[in-house]
Chain A
Amino acid sequence: MSENLIEFNNISKFFGSVIALKDVTMHIKKGQIMCLLGDNGAGKSTLIKTLSGVHKPTHGEIIVEGKKTVFDSPRDALDLGIATVYQDLALVSLMSVTRNFFMGREPMKGFGPFKTFDVQKANSIASEKMGQIGIDVRDPSQAVGTMSGGERQCLAISRAIYFGAKVLILDEPTSALGVHQASVVLKYIVKAAASGLGVILITHNVHHAYPVGNSFTILNRGKSMGTFEKKDLSREKLLSMMAGGEELDKLELELKEIDRKSKN
């Protein structure tokens, strides 16, 4: 199981004179959840877009299952089983659960010009897959707009898995969710990893990342501050690294100063 599903070696991305990413290296193994943490502007979005084929890296190489690869488009990444679930989830709230689940990849029946969208089969697969993650789709023809945020997130993830994802890139899957819903989604992510997928979980919430992650890569101002195994890292250390511990210390000092002044 030590074999890397996907490797990013010394990835750099420049936009004109702006250095968005500099020498970022990450390895993702089967069944592993790798958390990518970073503050706003750390380069998380650029990195995801590079991993999913939207941007081409300026330098560096991407190795998928041992083979060096260049992604020309998101389609290329998708074909190699690298599926990205963006924050907007690519769900249409006016459309039914089934129609969303199979959007762009509808199961067909019949021949030639009379091929039709097999709605029955699609309905049963959609409710079965959603059922497996413990979400009862009360009626697969109901609009996605009626679902909760967590259910939508799970729908987007299970869709990616159903269509053959080997590596899942999840962009802030819990950021808009309440505590309970976030835990449902995180549980599902752990399950997905346990079934043999590699997961890259992008978040800025240490409390969501720490319990589920196996390793942690921290980005700061476009550079990787290193990848750490869970055993080498306490939650406090992760928190301080991620927020830039110095800055928090400085903030504390400043607050004390304000406090002192107001007392005088």
Chain B
Amino acid sequence: MSVKSKSIQNKNKDERVRKVSNLKVLLNRPELGALGGSILVFIFFGIVAGDTGMFSAYGTINFLEVSANLGIIAVAAALLMIGGEFDLSVGSMIGFAGICIAIPAIYWGWPLWSSILFAFSMAVLVGYANGILVVRTGLPSFIVTLAMLFILRGATLALTRLITGRTQVPGLRVLIENDPIAWIFSADAFKGLFSWLGSLGLIALRQDGSPLATGIPASVLWWIGMTIFATWLLMKTRYGNWIFASGGDKLGARNVGVPVGRVKISLFIGTAVAATIYACVQVLDAGSADTMRGFLKELEAIVAAVVGGCLLTGGYGSAIGAAFGALIFGTVSMGIYYTDVDTDWFKVFLGGMMLIAVIFNNFIRRRVTENK
């Protein structure tokens, strides 16, 4: 009896399971829009600016670096958005983290590594504050983090002026050299490879014979690493399932035992920490901190996440998509200098791209959830 019913079941199953082509599976992925968009952008610039040096080693590193900086915060913003919340304080956190590194190191004589750790612990505090406020009060994260945007930016400016009398803190470059951890955020990778390619004449060289592009910047590795890590979290861990559940249906998730509050707080900490990684990369690269660093970056991160297929209402999206969203952003913002187009038009393009991406992603999501 049971054997018979089982065989019937299997037979039914065979009848009902429609072979879905790999193409269709791909079409249902949230990151498809951003992936397609990236390809289009590359084709466009390949045609328009292919012979201008945009895609030389130096040019490529340039636009990858811009993409990477944004990508670092976009990936964290995407996780938070999938978890159903926003963080508008990311940009201010970048500025705040920057002076948290620079002031102790320059004015208080702390070793650089300890001021970097100090910045990260401040990030955890800020993220925790954002998270606990949102979870405890039930207020929209939009409002809570908007308040934090102003508080952090104001505090950054006021404290910096109070302690240093100015709004910029230069002079970090000399501290980087012998620091045990600064290289994590500032060193180029694969320098040998680039020198070798240079010596073969495959990439452009400076006057002194060193390659123009010295290596892969640390930010690019952070970007790739964080994307891989975030994707692994989302797809392969219990915590990832909780992120989707918390964003998809807060009450439902709580009813089946998902610790929604803890998940959300940790995601807020994630965006603040990502902002601090961004700040480390920038501060150590420029050798100075500026109170206005990261201005409007929170919105760019949201654009990248949305272009990457994240749903504004939560519960759906991908980290890979956000990484590609950042790639589109970086490629266009750098690529536009290689074309004859007036760079003033960049933001028009950005807005238009976001609109198209949202419409397209909305269409994909409907396909997925309504079984068309």
- In the docked arrangement, what's the CA distance between A136 and B16, Å? 7
Considering only CB atoms, which chain A residue lies closest to B368 in the complex? Answer: A143
The number of residues on chain B lying at the interface, defined by a beta carbon within 8 Å of a beta carbon of chain A, is 33
B237 with A115: CB separation less than 8 A:
yes
**Docked pose: A146 CA to B251 CA in angstroms:** 21
How far does the alpha carbon of A119 sit from the alpha carbon of B249 in the complex, in Å?
A: 21
User: In the complex, what residue of chain A is closest to B236 when comparing beta carbons?
Assistant: A116
Most buried by B among A90, A91, A103, A142: A103
Considering only residues 126-153 of chain B, those with a C-beta below 8 Å from chain A are none
Closest CB-CB distance, A147 to chain B, in whole Å? 8
**Contact of A105 with B257 at beta-carbon distance under 8 Å, contacts A88-B252, A94-B369, A136-B16 already known:** yes
Tell which of B236, B257, B370 touches A75, judged by Cβ atoms closer than 8 Å: B257
The answer to whether B244 and A131 touch across the interface, beta carbons within 8 angstroms, is no
A86 at the binding interface (Cβ < 8 Å) = yes
CA A106 – CA B237 in complex, angstroms? 9
Known: A106-B241, A116-B237. A92 touches B253 (CB 8 A): yes
A108 on interface, CB distance cutoff 8 Å: yes
Contact (Cβ within 8 A) B369 A145: yes
- In the complex, what residues of B have CB within 8 A of residue A159's CB? 256
Pair A94/B311 contact, Cβ less than 8 Å: yes
Contact yes or no, A86 B255, CB < 8 A: yes
List the count of A-B residue pairs having beta carbons below 8 Å apart: 98
Q: Which residues of A contact B13 (CB under 8 A)?
A: 131, 136
Nearest residue, chain A, Cβ from B234 = A117
B370 touches A145 (CB 8 A): yes
Contacts of A115 in B (CB 8 A): 237-238
Q: Contacts A99-B241, A119-B236 known; A146 to B255 CB distance under 8 Å? A: no
A92-B248, A104-B256 given as contacts; is B241 within 8 A of A142 (CB)?
Answer: no
User: Which residues of A195-240 have CB atoms within 8 Å of chain B's CB atoms?
Assistant: none
Q: Do A139 and B20 have beta carbons less than 8 Å apart?
A: yes
Could you say which residues of chain B place their CB within 8 Å of the CB of A69? Answer: none
Q: List 9 A-B contacts (CB under 8 A).
A: A93-B369, A99-B244, A102-B241, A103-B242, A104-B245, A104-B258, A136-B12, A136-B13, A145-B369
Contacts beyond the supplied A103-B253, A119-B236: 15 A-B pairs with Cβ under 8 Å: A86-B255, A88-B252, A89-B252, A90-B251, A91-B249, A92-B248, A94-B315, A94-B365, A103-B252, A105-B256, A115-B237, A131-B13, A138-B17, A139-B20, A145-B371
What are the 3 tightest A-B residue pairs by CB atom distance, in nearest-first order?
A145-B369, A92-B248, A146-B371
